[in-house]
Amino acid sequence: MAGKDLTNVLDILNEAYLDQEEQFDSTLSKENHNYVYPEPGGTEVSEAQNSNHATSVTRIFNVVYGKPSAKKHKSWEQDGVLEISGTMAILKDTLGKVIDSKVKVGDLEKYDTGYETHVGSKCVQILDEIKPGTSSLQSSPRLNASDNVQSSTVNAQTSSVNAQTSSVSASSSLPWRPVKKSRLSLHAKTEVNPLILPKPIVDHQWKHNPSGKPLVDVTVDGFLSRVLKPHQRQGVSFLYERVCDLASLDLEGAILADEMGLGKTLQCIALIWTLLRQGPYGMPVIRKVLIVTPSSLTSNWNDEFKKWLGLTRMCPYHVNQKNKAEDYVYSRVSPVLIISYEMLIRAYQTIVDTEFDLLICDEGHRLKNGKSKLYELMTGLNIRKRILLSGTPLQNDLQEFFYLNDFANPGVLGSLREFRKNFEEPILESRSPNSTEAQKSLGELRSSQLAKRTAGFILRRTSDVQASLLNSKRETLLVCRATPLQQSLYLRCVEYWDARASRDSHLSVTHALRKICNHPGLVQQPDMMEEEGQDDLKSFLSQQWSSLSDNVFSTAQSGKLLLVDSLLRYLKHKAQEKIVLVSYFTLTLDLFEVLCKEMNYACLRLDGSTNVQNRKSIVDQFNDPKSSNFVLLLSARAGGAGLNLIGASRLVLYDSDWNPATDLQAMARIWRHGQQKPVHIYILLTAGTVEEKIFQRQISKADLTQCVIENDLMQTNDLTAKMSLEELKDLFTFEPYTESFVHTSLQCDCDGTGEIPVLKLEEEEEQEEEDSEECFLEVFKKRTTAKDAGNRTKNRQHMLMSWAHYHGDNLNEEVLEMVGLPQTAHTISFMFTHTT
């Protein structure tokens, strides 16, 4: 037979199959059946019985079955399908062979996920119900498995084709052509605005669909697509296209790097539900999913599945004190396993011996250290499809970014040595203050190349995408005046460090200075963050505290605490709003707790000592509008990730971390979907101290993240964890007379009356363009001011240059009311504020 004739035969086969499918869909829609014909093969019931059964089936289920047993954990033998027609139930294996049957079904409402019953001599447990237009989960091979469809299947489907064409097998070596038509799934037909996921390219069809099965539109179920926001619909499509490798790049990993609060969990749930039930060639893509999260978020994931899928569609297996990971092998009801990183390490052998098709790692930056035991174990999991969720994929350096990408898609950036040579070194060298023009140019080129190389599997959206969907958010950076006691103790601490010959205690001194900024009385209190062998420093500061304060502890000794005290009074008696107080220091949370007790403020606390099982009840109690607890004391390290605290509309970040990602995690707790009020977020710094300089370094890290992931090259400081002696001196230098070191470093010449500098710069540039004349003098002026223009452009890009600037002396009550801080002017040295 000529090649052209063979091609025509395949076209006929495809058309015949499509016609049959369309006819079946039409019948299904008219008769409202919940029946999907099983794959041909196996022994069937009698012809009459099968005929009646085929026209009256009301429900069909995926099940597991085995011998009857009184054991709690039964040993299931096989997967199967249970078909119920009227009062009759027929149990079949995955090939359609009848295993057993029974006449009296009983109450159909009991037939739900996890329900056990007897069908003849077999004990059956229901996994899930097969909806109209979908195929059996068990009877469907995986997308990436080799297709072993027999020729008898094709012949059975194309009996209307003439004898010459019907003898052609789908598995023969005939020239194959990609299917041009795709069948619209039942999901899309019944939905007003369906979310139809991308189709595979031709190369993908050649690789994964050798038998030429018709393409089926993979559509997210309506009950999910209706609640997805536009950016979430885009996210589901992106993840689907990547994990299915529809572009045929041999990459099945993805990193969803959305900022906090954009619904990464919901996007994953929609993807999981769809992949478990559908595929572009009519088969489910996956059968089992492993979700690994921090221990504090496992319950949250379990609750999110219940929230969006309900209790009847699918219940994940949540590993906790009651449900052991080892028991998942016996409990084949759920295709989804949720486990913490810590429990995965303990039960690693069980996990690695279980065949999963998709791996989702929440807070994926846990895998940033390629030399850690966790990273080694996770890379040992034989799961090709991998999704990392992280609002902060770049935290400290580019090597961490490499490890995250290499975990998602092994080898995509080459070896670590190649990555350092090709990307890390040129990018960091270009940011050195002494870099040459050639180094800057090369760094910009490599940064752009890195962004393009990873753009195919990294998706990052900022909170701006939901700004129109949420109430307003006002962020206010408050630089507070240090009290005389704070200034004196701060200077003496720096002098102590400067007088030491070795100066090897800089970490402890930094820690002590931060405690003084929070409250000077904290220096006499030990905590777990102090280094060992620093008794001399502690003894010295305790003596200084006693001599300066007469051992009297009060709110008035800290500028930041004075502001918090005023804010709590206002919220309690006038605004009637709840607030979250966030700190990295347990001692500071103790300080807040004492203040709340003295003022009779009902408060809750969530820190590292809080039992994991109690976290959810604390969060639920705080979010309850009827609860009298209007203050939540939150540890930034223990509770900064994954919590939904929309019961509060105010949040105070009392102290900052070197890592901006941790701060961003904490601040994202209240501005989320479900928030009913305008949100106020306050970031507190003490003027002229190490706190302002930590904040300044934070901005450098944030710029690097934007550079690499968003491909927007910006000038940043050198990111090195090790500081020189000169850098340490600069870090510790106290500037008691400055209104704000951060504002000074911006080289901003505003008058501090509330103007937004970036708007002023743009107006000046527009005026210059209008007034300029092309004469020799004007050209010379442009050349000599090119450097200033570059600095001005850099400053305009700075985040704070788009915020309103206020000197403390210009803060009247009208302005303070606007930011929700009445009667606090005496504590504020400088203020930056911005509304989203």
Within 8 A by CB and 6+ apart from 500, the residues are: none
Per-residue H/E/C for 598-626: HCCCCEEEECCCCCHHHHHHHHHHHHCCC
Are 545 and 520 in contact by the 8 Å Cβ rule? The answer is yes
Structure tokens at 60: 């069909």
Q: What are phi and psi of 402, to 5 degrees?
A: -60, -45
CA distance 654 to 632: 13
Q: Which residue has the higher pLDDT, 188 or 468?
A: 468
Provide the pLDDT for residue 274.
96
Provide the pLDDT for residue 141.
35
User: Average pLDDT of 714-738?
Assistant: 61
Provide the pLDDT for residue 281.
92
Provide the pLDDT for residue 396.
59
Nearest to 187 by CA among 155, 237, 225, 150: 225
- Alpha-carbon distances, residue 282 vs 159, 219, 298, 601 (angstroms): 20, 12, 32, 59
Are 10 and 171 in contact by the 8 Å Cβ rule? The answer is no
Nearest to 269 by CA among 244, 235, 318: 235
Residue type, 827: T
Provide the pLDDT for residue 78.
76
Provide the pLDDT for residue 321.
85
Are 584 and 657 in contact by the 8 Å Cβ rule? The answer is yes
CA distance 420 to 450: 12
The pLDDT confidence band at residue 6, using thresholds 50, 70 and 90, is very low
As a dihedral over the C-alpha atoms of residue 254, residue 258, residue 259, residue 261, rounded to 10 degrees, the angle is: -110
The pLDDT confidence band at residue 543, using thresholds 50, 70 and 90, is confident
pLDDT digits (tens, 9 = 90+) for 621-635: 999 988 889 999 999
The pLDDT confidence band at residue 763, using thresholds 50, 70 and 90, is low
Cα 442 from chain centroid?
Answer: 32
Within 8 A by CB and 6+ apart from 127, the residues are: 61, 62, 63, 64, 113, 137, 332, 333, 335
CA distance 276 to 78: 19
User: Average pLDDT of 221-236?
Assistant: 93
Provide the pLDDT for residue 335.
93
pLDDT of 33 above 70: no
pLDDT digits (tens, 9 = 90+) for 675-710: 888 999 999 999 999 998 888 877 655 554 455 555
pLDDT digits (tens, 9 = 90+) for 339-372: 999 999 999 999 999 999 999 999 998 998 899 9
Provide the pLDDT for residue 44.
38
Instruction: DSSP for 690-740, please give it.
Output: HHHHHHHHHHHHHHHHHHHHS----------SSPPHHHHHHHH---TT-S-
Provide the pLDDT for residue 797.
41
User: Average pLDDT of 590-607?
Assistant: 92
CA distance 219 to 225: 9
Strands of 427-572, DSSP E: 458-459, 473-480
Provide the pLDDT for residue 722.
53
User: Average pLDDT of 77-95?
Assistant: 82
CA distance 534 to 527: 12
Sign of CA dihedral 780, 784, 790, 791: negative
Sign of CA dihedral 317, 322, 328, 330: negative
The pLDDT confidence band at residue 511, using thresholds 50, 70 and 90, is confident
pLDDT of 390 above 70: yes
The pLDDT confidence band at residue 138, using thresholds 50, 70 and 90, is very low
User: Average pLDDT of 584-608?
Assistant: 91
pLDDT of 508 above 70: yes
The partner residues of 81 in beta bridges, in order of sequence, read: 62, 92
Instruction: DSSP for 744-795, please give it.
Output: HHTT----SBS--HHHHHHHHHHHHHHH---SHHHHHHHHHTHHHHHHHHHH
Q: Could you give the count of Cα atoms lying within 13 Å of 478 in the half-sphere of its Cβ?
A: 33
- DSSP label at residue 571: I
CA distance 111 to 752: 69
pLDDT digits (tens, 9 = 90+) for 273-295: 999 999 999 899 999 999 999 98
Q: Name the range with the highest mean pLDDT among 55-64, 225-234, 742-751.
A: 225-234
CA distance 94 to 193: 34
Tokens 């038509």 locate to 181
CA distance 356 to 352: 9
Provide the pLDDT for residue 493.
86
Provide the pLDDT for residue 576.
82
User: Average pLDDT of 19-44?
Assistant: 36
Are 267 and 230 in contact by the 8 Å Cβ rule? The answer is no
Map out the domains of the chain with their CATH numbers.
59-129 (no CATH), 195-463 (3.40.50.10810), 471-527+537-712+732-759+794-835 (3.40.50.300)
Provide the pLDDT for residue 305.
95
Provide the pLDDT for residue 527.
63
Provide the pLDDT for residue 218.
94
- Alpha-carbon distances, residue 665 vs 114, 668, 833 (angstroms): 37, 5, 20
CA distance 776 to 778: 6
Q: Which residue has the higher pLDDT, 296 or 498?
A: 296
CA distance 39 to 94: 8
Helix (H) or strand (E) holding 743: helix 741-745
pLDDT of 248 above 90: no
Quote the Cα angle for 490-496-502, to 5°. Answer: 135
pTM score, two decimals? 0.63
Q: How does the average pLDDT of the chain come out, rounded? A: 76
Structure tokens at 765: 């540039």
Q: Which residue has the higher pLDDT, 671 or 796?
A: 671
Please state, as a whole number, how many other Cβ atoms lie within 10 Å of the Cβ of residue 123. Answer: 17
Q: Name the range with the highest mean pLDDT among 148-162, 568-582, 713-727.
A: 568-582
Sign of CA dihedral 26, 31, 33, 36: negative
pLDDT of 403 above 60: yes
Are 261 and 231 in contact by the 8 Å Cβ rule? The answer is no
Instruction: DSSP for 258-310, please give it.
Output: PPTTS-HHHHHHHHHHHHTT--TTSS-S-S-EEEEE-GGGHHHHHHHHHHHHH
CA distance 77 to 211: 31
Please state, as a whole number, how many other Cβ atoms lie within 10 Å of the Cβ of residue 333. Answer: 20
**Number of separate helices (H) and strands (E) present in the chain:** 32, 25
Percent of the chain at pLDDT exceeding 70: 74
Segment among 81-90, 242-251, 766-775 with least mean pLDDT: 766-775
Q: Are strands 88-93 and 98-102 parallel, antiparallel or unpaired?
A: antiparallel
Nearest to 316 by CA among 282, 347, 276, 283: 276
Provide the pLDDT for residue 767.
52
Each as own residue / partner, the long-range contacts of residues 27-35 (CB below 8 Å, 24 or more positions apart, any chain) are 28/132, 28/133, 28/186, 29/186, 29/189, 33/57, 33/132, 34/58, 34/59, 34/60, 34/129, 34/130, 34/131, 34/132, 35/60, 35/83, 35/132
For the sheet with 116-119, list strands across it. Answer: 98-102, 88-93, 78-85, 57-66, 122-129, 116-119
User: Average pLDDT of 239-266?
Assistant: 90
CA distance 562 to 555: 6
Q: At what angle do helices 690-709 and 660-667 cross, to 10 degrees?
A: 90
